[in-house]
Amino acid sequence: MKKISALWGNVFKQNTDDRSIPSILRRIPVFSSLSKTEMRLIEKIVYLRNYHEGEVIFVEGEPGAGMYIIESGKVRICLGPNIDEEHEIALLEQGDFFGELALIDDHPRSATAVAILPTRLVGFFRSDLISIINRSPRLGVKLQLNILQILVRRLRITDQRLNETTESLIDLQIKLESEPQADRPKEK
Amino acid sequence: MMILSQRPKDMPLIFRPTFKLTALAVMIILTIAMLLWIPDLLSSFLMTIILVFIFSPAVDYFERHGITRINAILLVMLGVLLGMILLGMLLSSYVFGEYEGLSSRIDFYSSMLNDEINRRVVELERKFGLERFEVGQKVLSHFQDELHQAVLFTGATFGTVVTWIALVPLMLFFFLLDGHLIKRALIGFLPNRYFEMSLNIHEKISKIVGNFIRAKLIESGLVGAISLVGFIIIGIIYRPLNYAFVLALLVGLFNIIPYLGPLIGMIPVLLVAVVQYVLLPQFPEFGSEVQVASNWAPVAWIFGVVTFSHIVDNVYIIPVLLGHAVNVHALVVLLSVIVGAKLLGITGMIISIPLASILQTLVFEVADGIRNLRH
C-alpha cells in the first residue's frame, strides 16, 4: 500500500496464501469471530462479482450499499472523479476490504473505487446484514460489534493523526512567530 | 489520466454488461409471457407476493427464537391453515350462511331498489308530464349487474380459487424459504454499474411495500371491526341488520382501496339497510311475522357508523399506521383500480393497490438511483 488513509487503508491486514472464500472472510475483522455454522450462512449471503481492469466498483457521492473484500486483483481508492495514480489515497490487494461504513447507512460514498487489474470481489451488503439481525440476532450482534470495533480503531487512528497534525501546526506557528519579521514572505 | 467506465474488448462474454442486461430482459419477458399465458398463474403469483410481505415478519420472528427457517415457515403456514379451519368451524354456519344469503338475495335487493326508484320516476313523470327516463333505466340496470358482481366476487371464479388453493401455498413456501436466493440470482445478472443501485432499490422497496401492505391490512381490519360493533349496537336498538358480519367484512375489505373503497363498501351496506328497514320491513326473511313500519332512522345510523369508521380511519388509524409508509398517488390508485377490475374484477381492484405501491416505489427509486448515477 503506497499511502495509508485512516478510512480507506487496510489497518487490519494479515498475510496468508489461503484464497478460499471462508478463509478470506475469516481474515476480515467483520467476520473473524464467527463460528463455522455462522460462516456457512454468511457464505450463502455474500455476492461474488467480477470486475475487469479499469472498471469502476463505485463512485464517490453515490449511496453505498455495503462492503467488499478482495478475493483476487487490486483496487485503487481515489478522491474525486479522476481515478489515476495521482488521486489515489489507497491501493488495496487480495484480502483487503473496503466500504464497510455503508453497512451502517446509505450515506454517499466518500471515495471512488476502481479495479486496476481483473478483480474478483466478495460483497456483503446492508440489506443482508439487516436480514441477519432480524432472523438471527446473536449473529447480528456479533457482526455489529465487529463493525463497531473497526470503526473505533479507525477513529483512534484518525484521532492520533489529527493530534500529530495539530502538533505540527503548532510547531510551525511557533517557528513562524520566532522568525524575524523581515524573513517572512510578503503577503500579496 | 484514467477516466471512469473503461471497458476492455477481451472481457469474457458472460461478464459483459450488454450480455447480462439482455439475459435479464429475456428472463423477465419469458416470465411475464408465462404468467399471462397460463390461466390464473398471474393472479396466483401476485397473491403470493402480497402474502410473502404479510407472513415474512412472522417467519422471521420464529427464526429469531431458534427455529430453523423451514420449520418456521411450516409453523406459520400450518398456523394460518389451522386458524382458517377453526374460524371456519366457528363461523362457517354464520358467515357462509350470511354470504350465501346475501349472494342469493343481492339481485332481489337491487331489483327491489330498482323497482322503488322506477316507481318514484313514474310518479315524477305523472307529476311533471315528462317522457320515460331511459338513461336512468340503463344506469340502474348496469348498477344492478355491477353490484351482483361485487358481492359475488365474480372476478375470482371457482377455477381461480382452486388454482389459488393449489398454487399459492406452494409458491408462498418456496418464496419464503428461498426468496433471498431468487433475489441474489436476479441481481447477479445485473451489470456491475447498476449492481449497488439495485441492492439499494430492493432494500427500500421491501421496507416501504412491506410496511404499506401490513399497515393496510391492520387498517382495514380495524375499520371492519368498528363497523361491525356499530351494526351490532344498531341491531340491538332497532332490529338486527341482516348479513352484518359479511357487510362489515366488505366495508373493511374495500377500505384497502384508497379514495374509492369507502364508497364501494358503503353500497351493499346501504342497499341491505334500505331494503330491510324501509322497503320491506315486514319481509318474512327478516324473521318478523309482525308488521313493522318503515323506518329511515336505522339506515341513517348505519350510514353514520360506516362514515364514522372512515373518519376514525383517516384521523387516527392512517396517521399512526401509514404515516411513514408510501402514499400511493390518487391517479395511480384510479388507474390501477381500473386495470385490476378489468383483469380480475373486484379481487383485482383490491390486490391492485399493494401492487401499485410496489410499482410506484419501483419507478421513484429507479429514477432516484439513475439520478444518483449521473451525478
Amino acid identity at B124: L
pLDDT at B82: 92
pLDDT at A116 over 80: yes
Q: For chain A, say whether B180 makes contact (Cβ under 8 Å).
A: yes
Q: Is residue A69 part of a domain?
A: yes
- CATH for A145: 2.60.120.10
Main-chain phi, psi angles of A20, to 5 degrees: -70, 155
Instruction: Return left, alpha or beta for A176; rule: phi > 0 is left, psi -120 to 50 is alpha, else beta.
Output: alpha
> How many Cβ atoms from other residues are within 10 Å of residue B178's Cβ?
13
The pLDDT > 70 percentage for chain A reads 86
| Cα separation, B374 vs B116, whole angstroms | 64
Nearest residue on chain A to B61, alpha-carbon basis: A135
- Residue A60 inside a domain? The answer is yes
Q: What's the confidence (pLDDT) of residue A25?
A: 84
pLDDT at B281 over 60: yes
Residues shown for chain B = 375
Q: What pLDDT does residue B147 have? A: 59
Give mean pLDDT, residues B293-298.
80
> Does pLDDT of A106 surpass 60?
yes
Task: Find residue A92's DSSP bridge partners.
Answer: A75
pLDDT band at A172 (very low <50, low <70, confident <90, very high): very high
Cβ-defined contact of B196 to A58 (cutoff 8 Å): yes
**Residue ranges per domain, chain B?**
15-374
pLDDT (tens digit per residue) in B197-223? 888 888 888 887 788 888 888 888 999
Q: Looking at residues A130-144, what average pLDDT do you find?
A: 90
User: Are B186 and B24 within 8 A, CB to CB?
Assistant: yes
Element (H, E) at A51: strand A47-51
Instruction: Give the three cell numbers for residue B321.
Output: 399506521
B203/chain A closest Cα distance in angstroms: 6
Ranges B83-92, B235-244, B292-301: which has the least confidence: B83-92
- On whether any CB of chain A is under 8 Å from the CB of B202, the answer is yes
Of the listed ranges A14-28, B203-217, B268-282, the least confidently predicted one is: A14-28
| pLDDT of res. B155 | 47
**Domain tally, chain A:** 1
Cβ neighbours of A136 in B, within 8 Å:
63-64
CB contact under 8 Å between B64 and A83, yes or no, is: no
Q: Is B349:B321 a contact under the CB 8 Å cutoff?
A: no
What is the value of ipTM here, to two decimals? 0.73
The answer to whether position A75 is within a domain reads yes
Specify the pLDDT at position A135.
87
Say whether pLDDT at B225 is over 90: yes
Mean pLDDT of chain B: 76
More confident residue, B51 or B358: B51
Q: What is the pLDDT of residue B72?
A: 94
Does pLDDT of B329 surpass 80?
no
- Taking each helix axis from N to C end, the angle separating B330-374 and B134-152, rounded to the nearest 10 degrees, works out to 60
| pLDDT reported for residue A167 | 93
Average pLDDT of chain A is 83
First-to-last alpha carbon distance for chain B, in angstroms, is 20
Residues A24-72: tens digit of each pLDDT? 788 888 888 888 888 888 888 889 899 998 899 998 888 888 999 998 8
Between chain A and chain B, the number of residue pairs with CB atoms below 8 A apart is: 83
Chain A neighbors of B2, CB-CB under 8 A:
54, 82-84, 114
Is the per-residue pLDDT at A169 higher than 80? yes
pLDDT > 70? residue B241:
yes
B15-32 pLDDT tens trace: 666 776 777 777 777 777
Q: What stretches of B65-154 show up as alpha helix (H) in DSSP?
A: 69-91, 97-128, 134-152
Task: Give me the pLDDT at residue B222, please.
Answer: 92
Q: Tell me if A166 is assigned to some domain.
A: no
DSSP string over A76-117: EEESSS--SGGGEEEEE-TT-EE-GGGGT--PBPSSEEEESS
Q: Which domain holds residue A59?
A: 21-159
Say if residue B95's pLDDT is above 70: no
Residue A176 lies in a domain: no
What local confidence, expressed as pLDDT, does residue B14 receive? 60
Confidence at residue B4, expressed as pLDDT on a 0 to 100 scale? 47
Chain A residues whose CB is inside 8 A of the B63 CB are 135-136
- Closest partner residue to A106 among B193, B195, B200, by Cβ? B200
Contact at 8 Å (CB) between B248 and B87?
no
pLDDT value, residue A82: 77
User: How sure is the predictor about B154, in pLDDT bands with cuts at 50, 70 and 90?
Assistant: very low
Mean pLDDT of B89-113: 68
pLDDT band with cut points at 50, 70 and 90 for residue A75: very high
**How close does chain B come to A3, measured CA to CA in Å?**
19
